[in-house]
Structure 1
Amino acid sequence: MATNYDDVMTQLVGAGLQFDHLVVGKMQRCKVEGDREKRGWYSVHELVLDGGDTVLVGSYGIWRGDDNGTQKLTLAKRSLTDDQKAAIRARLAEDRRRADAARRADAARAAEQAEAKWRECQVEGEIDYLTRKGVRAHGVRFAPAGAVLEWDGNQGKPYTTPIGSAMCIPMMDAAGRVHGLQFILSRALHADRIKRIERDKEFWPAGIEKRGHFHLIGMPTWIVLLAEGYATAASLHEATGLPVAVAFDAGNLLPVAEALHKRYPRAKILVCADDDSFGHCRECRAPVRIADGADCPACSKPHRCENAGVTRASSAAVAVGGRHVAAKFVDEEGRWAKFQAQGHKITDYNDLHLAEGLPIVRAQVEEALRTVGWQAPTSAAAAPQPGGEGKPALRPIETLDELLERFALIYGEKEAVFDRQERMIVPLAGMRNICISRELHRRWMEHPTKAIVRLDNVGFDPTEKDRKITCNTYAGWPTKPKAGCCEMLIDLLAYLCSAEENADAVYQWLMKWLAYPIQRPGAKMQSAVVMHGPQGTGKSQFFKAISSIYGPYGLTINQAAIENHRNTWLASRLFILAEEVVARQELYQVKNALKELVTGETVYVDPKFVNAYEEKNHVNIVFNSNEEMPIVLEDDDRRHLVVRTPYAPQPEDFYRAVKREIEEGGIAALHAHLLDLPLGDFTPHTKPPMTASKAALQDLALDSTTRFYREFVAGAIEGIKPGVVAIATDVFDAYRTWCNRINVKPAPMPRLINALEKKHRIECARKRYLGADGKVMGPHGVCFIPEYREQPDRTRILVAPEKPPAEDERTWIGKHAIAFRNAVKDYKGAANA
């Protein structure tokens, strides 16, 4: 055994370290007298002296914040060589390094446990502590029912304590990382635990690093207040509206003040001290008033009490160029009497709040600010206002927990995330910039439980039935219906439809078309509405009212938007009003884009800064135009309701009445009316009624091949009769001459023949035939042009020419071809005459 074993034990035990037996050769953690955590440590090693004696050397200490309190074991009356002294110094240095590393590891482990426990806690909850203190919950959480805290226990025997419904306060750094938790216990639910530990608060887990970590109530601006406990901070915040940091105890005021000053260098720091004016004599435990002198009136010995709250607050304020202030109570003698009788201290601003009210707390803080000449800068930015469309104003993100809850990384996208609050895809850089610090964003990136979704999990699903969509850009219907008057708006729509011969059928269909997707959000109507006519009839007034019902999911666009390939406007839309979008024949891509909007199942969205993506099409579209030809319609179109508005507008009083009705809640009333409108058997596939306006628009939109075909088979081309067999080149010759006569550009021959064969079902085949000289010609392309024939029931049908049974096909084709060619020559001659 080492010759100084007893001496070493005396030094370690005398320092307050508690352990069962001395371990030699490696660093040990141990408990300290009066403390439940293993804050003590020692590192003892054997050293053989020149005389052969073995002694114990090393160091020990007690952790206080980030100070390991290293003390060297003393060797009484021992002579050491220089080498031995050097060896001991090296060993002590190594012990300190190991102690520091062990402490950092403990703190990191504790932070990981605390963060996991914090995520388990709930935002909503109640506790008698808040009622007793008269304050609200600010940024805290509540342990769920059945929750427990895990403890190591003595002699390697772990145990748990129930904390269900306890209030949980996070201890964070300036980057928002949780390092530990303070649980406030309920006197009703945790009475046994409170009795055992003799307080209603406990920190968890073991090994937490409290120094410099805090809980923020509010966001530091030009100023931040600093207080010891949560209730004090909550009272200060509720009284003044100013941001307050909770330091948890007086010893942490200075480290927290320094951390806040480093993170918010422009913010002034007002330390709001607990006024610890009273205490108990260390010798006889009698109550003493510190202001009465250094000696105890009861035993006449130094009481060794200090006003720790004010002293520490003053030191913290001086270190960061701040100021400190302590609560002032009207009844100081009553305060002293209560302490003498009950041992209960009335010291802080929560005590002042309960005794004299929040206005007194506010007045004292404001007086302190006036005294030191502090006030909010006049050039400071105005307080954030609510965002558009009723959304809350955006603010910086301060905690990792908020990042984890709000954002999901989109796998496969180029640096994009989904923002669950804003219901949108945003660039990763946008998310990074809204974080209070880059460190906070890095911690999210490195976090093992951050949400990751696939691109097909992100979408716009107003039906809310697609299980694949877990990140929905739809946030619910944005406007609310309200019973009221919308008669003028309904009359306006009826007037807009009144010029059509079947006006009532058009009006009834259109009302149901408007109502269906409002009654069934996300319904994609397989049709569109085209409303065109003179200016000033009220087209825009009515359909902009409809668009308003859709809130942000409705939009008015123009031609430039349609032609722009950056079609971000198309994302997450339910209704589009297209004003003066003219799909000219030359703009085939625009025509196809419009058709895809009406009938396509998906749309392709190509925004800036984020990869293009596909989204399910829920858009229903109305085209408004003053043009005679607002859109190109195919002659067999079944998807568009075309309405030409009356030429004469209503009197101005009518439109003023419509405007007044809108201002008085007419849009919400129209919303309610459409929600209640009976739909009967109307579905998204119900075809729109045919109108004379649509027929006229289709006729205007006909391409030259179809118009030529119609005039040809109707016998409307001078000198060229249908019901013939013609060589394809002669048909094209006739077509080209016809185009020249009406001054339109002819299509190429392959397009003409393809249109006749594919679109109009004319038989075109390669055949041999007899020429004028009796020789066999071909094979050449031959077209069998039909003609209209009246049936017994007086209907007319198209009938193709038929070869007489007894006639040779080549002879029959040749005879028709020669006659048709001669007719074309005559037609061309007449055209050139």
Structure 2
Amino acid sequence: MASLEQVIAQMSADLPSMPAGHPRLNGRINKFGKGKKAWYRLREFTLRSGRQVITGAYGIWQGQNPNSVPIRIDWEGATDEERAEAARRQADVEREETERRANAARFAANRAGQEWKRAAPIDDAAAVPYLARKQIGGDFARVMANGTLLVPARRYRAGERPELVCVQKIDPDPAMGKRFNHGADMVGAACLLGSITRGETKLIGIAEGYASGQSVRLAQGGSLPVMLAFSAGNLLAVARQLRADFAETTLLFFADDDWQLVQRYERDLRDHFDVEPAPAIDGMDHVLTSSKGEPVTVRATWRQDATGTGYIEADIRSGRRVRLLKFENAGLAKARAAASDVGNAKVCWPAFADRGENKWTDFNDLQVEESIEAARDQVLAAIAAATAPPADDLIAMDSPAPPVEECATPALLDWADTPPPPSEEDAAPAGTGLVPLAWALSHCALIQGSTHVWDSVNQLRMPNSAFVKLVGKESAKAWDVSPQRRSISPRVLPATVRGVADAGGGAGDDSLLAMLERYTLLYGTKTVWDHDRRKIVAYDAMALSRGSNLAERWLEHPHRREIDLENLVFDPTQRVDLKTHINMFEGFPLKPKKDIEKAGLALTLLQSLCAAESNADELMHWVLCWLAYPLQHPGAKMQTAMLFFGEKQGTGKSLFFEAIVKPIYGEYGATGGQNQLDSTYTVWRSQKLFVLFEEILSRQDKYSAIGLIKHMITGRTQPISQKFKDDRDEANHMNTVMLSNEFQAVPLEPHDRRFLVVDVRKDLDPELLANIKAQLDDGLVEAFYAFLLEYPLGDFTPHTYPLMTGAKERVISFGRPDWEAFYLAWAGGELDAPYCSCLSEDLYLVYDRYCSRYRLRGLSLTKFAELMGTRLQKDRQWVGLGAMKKKLLTVLHVPPQDNDPASETLSQACERFRTGADIKALL
């Protein structure tokens, strides 16, 4: 079980120093640190066995993201009864917490009602400081005697009276900010400016804040109803309620442009890591030094979310602190996501003539800082575009993000007329299709030379009219013009019966016409591409099979097809030009069949594989995202790999990955071994999306082959060589899983970012094994495939870093060089030598004792000093020890520590080290 000391150690690695008297195990959210952004919630309970269990979470607020980190519970040595009791106790706590929140929300609503009754209507807006400052009226709000503005937050439902759940209080003093009734349930709560008439209102505006919404109405003329969501995170809930009540009404989001991403990135580095200036946002590792002399590694990258909105992803590492931060344009991203979710919705945001470095984000800022005329022009243009047929984006985003071409994912239009697949409870809204546009872009391809569409998931050929009904009219138009639209050659399609793929379809006969369809000459080689067999064959082999006479006639025929060798590609994204290229990818061969019970068997097996890790639930979610992403986005190259190891055999590793996951890929999946890695010929890698390696690295080869392994994980292309065939390069879409029974199957660096490592210790349940074997050939694989296609990915991307697990920490420590282990032991206070500045020769003597004690092969003084120079500042300084005169000596500088004597000089620190380490003077 996690002790309080272990919890404090875990929290200290990520949070600033806690004040005296903390942490408190009171089950409440405790905030501390600069701006009260650091937080934690811990609770403790005692099991019947007497064991103490501490649960909870902690994090640092960043915008609307609390960055929650769960407390790791060490279940080592715990019995099943203790686990079950802990789970029951935790469920009881969560149930009590739910009841507490419901009561708090009820009390908050009561207080809000009383405050609203005591407040007065606004007769003179100029007398209310906030309204005067924002240059707006006070319609639909009230004011308290002290000048505090009250904005009501109500829950609206068609046919019901609005329910007041909270009031927003805006203090006359700008420094006091905005507050809500404590404990209020704000999810879906909103404030309606204006009125909505069912069947008559054709357009409803949605904004975040009161001032922004009032400026929009002032600019428009006051007839447009605007619903206030109060925050970007509440836009989706408000929009969903509006869509449920007004299915045919167009929604227009007047979004906040929270554009200062770079500034927030620089501020967080300065405030939390003491680093200034911030490094470039270029996706590269930058090693900086804080003012305390501590190394800080920063990798910042521009990315785009699913809506096409740019954000900054920053990986920051300093010692044991590892933080992955996301700096996003919350106003724009949440508005776009909400518009995409509800459909028949559009997004606009203000464009400033000269914003500079000012934090201007909304339409009220546009009115105040420029003019009401500028706001009117943009608002009316947005309304005109919203009520007109779909066109391009309303306004170009004024954002420091790089152009779309430089980002990881292509931009999406702000038109969001296609909702996601409807749930079983809800019917599809009128005018929309059965599947979203994103699904069609991932799994549907235009058949070259026709208007028909191929559905690779359902193995179905459909006419354009059927496709329009499937995705909806507007989505079909967007799909047709999208640069992400896929295309497929009719040559690679299977025979169909009433549009559905027929497994018995043949490849044709040996006639000249069939050969013209089947073979393509690869220019510059003596080989041809066989479309039926999907492989390169020698011309002589083809002629031997078909007859020399027929082969010569084919070769001389004017309609024979010929392409350059480099135009033979493997492109699972299916966006290559089929007029000039041949795509070796034909789509996934397996057809998913939804069956929750069968998919549950695979999930139970995966849960068993992850059970030994302390963060098993989080780990299982990450693994499922990793497996689901390349299936939901065919062609995605994961920049990470997974390693499952364990000394026990029969735990189910191969059963899960070999028997369940790999068959999803059909011929695009493979199992590899050491022979494949050592082979001169690499054709086994061609046309592969998933490769499972079993015990690939021997003790002799694990270090020599790691470079090749890394390239297979992150390399963009790979050379393909085949005996008696011409070499070529092929795009690398191969995603890798490794299985091993060795503890250190792969040597990992301390800051490895490629591998997710899982130690599999739990024995496979015989009953589960029997059930899986019984269902393997009866739809289990298809059911798990269907489950992965629908699994929610959230913010998961191919570049999402793997979780740190206890197994990975152990593997890293096992392979750590002896000198680095010595340094960590010294810095951690484990040696009889103080951690302070010292002479390199003195530290080497301590290192020599360390090696002798643990029977290690030590390094020379020169190598040792240079390696220590990578951890500490090393230079030559004049140092005087004892009564001796100062000499120019090599010194290793340790940053000041909390327990260092006040005003200690460098010479005194070196003398203190020598005394503490019991080193006799050698100078």
User: What's the TM-score, normalizing by structure 2?
Assistant: 0.41
Structure showing greater radius of gyration is 1
User: What's the TM-score, normalizing by structure 1?
Assistant: 0.45
